[in-house]
Structures are given as structure tokens and as C-alpha cells.
A and B are shown apart, each in its own frame.
Chain A
Amino acid sequence: DAMVIQNPRYQVTQFGKPVTLSCSQTLNHNVMYWYQQKSSQAPKLLFHYYDKDFNNEADTPDNFQSRRPNTSFCFLDIRSPGLGDAAMYLCATSRGQMVETQYFGPGTRLLVL
């Protein structure tokens, strides 16, 4: 089945140690999104790619970066994770940028020790 895949499902890292989360999709969608969801909170958009064009949300910390080497893959890099970065990270894709359905992956839960 076409889908959005996130690896790993659980990631443990140390305070300040860089970590990379990955997302891949078989939907051939143009847009890929990264959301952060803290416990009992709504998902919050960090940034998105429309094809190769990167769009950062104004309040996304500089500590978070993203790469999209090709249509299928997108990475979230956290340069120096702090305790406050522990959260569920959700990847989503959509065919286009307008009012299109976003399809989500299962998420990666990040724990920072």
C-alpha cells in the first residue's frame, strides 16, 4: 500500500547530541510536512517542502532543520536537542499546497535524556 513511513518509531538521544529523523513516502506527493506534537497538545507545523522549495514557520527554532534530497524522502535534523524538544514528530504529505488532504505517518517519538 502507498503510505508515509517514519523511522525510527522511537528515538532516544542525549541532551545536545544531534539527531536525525527520517520520513519517506510512496504517494509521489509534491509536499512534505514536519509537525511537532507535545504531550496532550495539537500538532504544530515546523516547516514544509513544496517540491524542493523549503518553507519555514516563523516560530520554528533555528535548532530544527530539514532536508529533502528527493521526492520520496525528507529528514528532520535537530542540531542540539534540549529537554523541551522531547515530543512526537509527525511527517505528512499532500499532493499540492492548496486545500489538499494531508496524509500522516505513524510518527517518531523522541526522548531526550
Chain B
Amino acid sequence: SQELEQSPQSLIVQEGKNLTINCTSSKTLYGLYWYKQKYGEGLIFLMMLQKGGEEKSHEKITAKLDEKKQQSSLHITASQPSHAGIYLCGAVHGSGNTGKLIFGQGTTLQVKP
């Protein structure tokens, strides 16, 4: 089984609708990152969460790390076509970690105008 599971794998929403992507870890998270990737391009950093209960927002995107630090959610409010892409969560699983990121499989988001 995957160390980091994302759900759903893909999502199609109508423009203006809200959506949530989940990332669940089988281990305690010492750092949880959200990235966005357009097809055939690099990863764009969105947010990093470290503390249980932490919540961060950037424009219309909000990410939370649950208290037990094993799950994170990414919420997009009033989605726009520019939000389309692949959303990846990445996790650091050890306090003494060398910075190795384990990634989830990604969630592909399509936003219909």
C-alpha cells in the first residue's frame, strides 16, 4: 500500500464550484507539502504545513493539517479554469529526515467553464 494516498484520483467540476482533495498518510507527518503540476511541466509550490491543526490559505486555496498529523485536505473555493492541473501532496515522514519527500499519486482536476 502507498505511504501517501490521495483522493480522489481525478475530479471534474463546474467553474465556480468548491472542491476538496484529501491526502492521507500511513505515518506521522513532520511536514506536508502541496504542489500543483501542469501536464509536462515542473511542480509549483503551493503551501507547507507542519503543525497539527495548522491551516494556510493562498488566494482561493486553503490547506489544513489535521490534529493527529496524518491527513491533510486542500480546498478550492469558487474554482476557475486556471485551477486545472494535477495536485500532489508530498510528505516528510521523519523528524531527523534528510528532506526526502514522498509524493502521493496526484489528483487531476478539470474545471469546466
Contact = CB atoms under 8 A, between A and B. Distances in A.
A42 B98 contact: no
Given A45-B100, A55-B98, A94-B99, A109 B40 contact: yes
A74 interface: no
B42 A48 contact: no
B12 interface: no
A101 B50 CA distance: 11
Contacts, number: 64
Interface stretch (B13-21, B56-64, B101-109): B101-109
Interface residues of B, number: 24
A99 B103 CA distance: 14
Interface string A21-48: 0000000000101000000111111001
Contact of B98 (A97, A103, A106): A97
A107 B92 CA distance: 22
A9 B110 CA distance: 25
Interface of B: 30-31, 33, 35, 40-45, 48, 50, 88, 90, 92, 97-101, 103-106
Interface of A: 4, 6, 31, 33, 40-45, 48, 50, 55, 57, 88, 90, 92, 94, 96-107, 109
Top 9 A-B pairs, shortest CB-CB distance: A99-B31, A42-B103, A104-B43, A106-B42, A104-B42, A97-B99, A107-B42, A97-B98, A99-B92
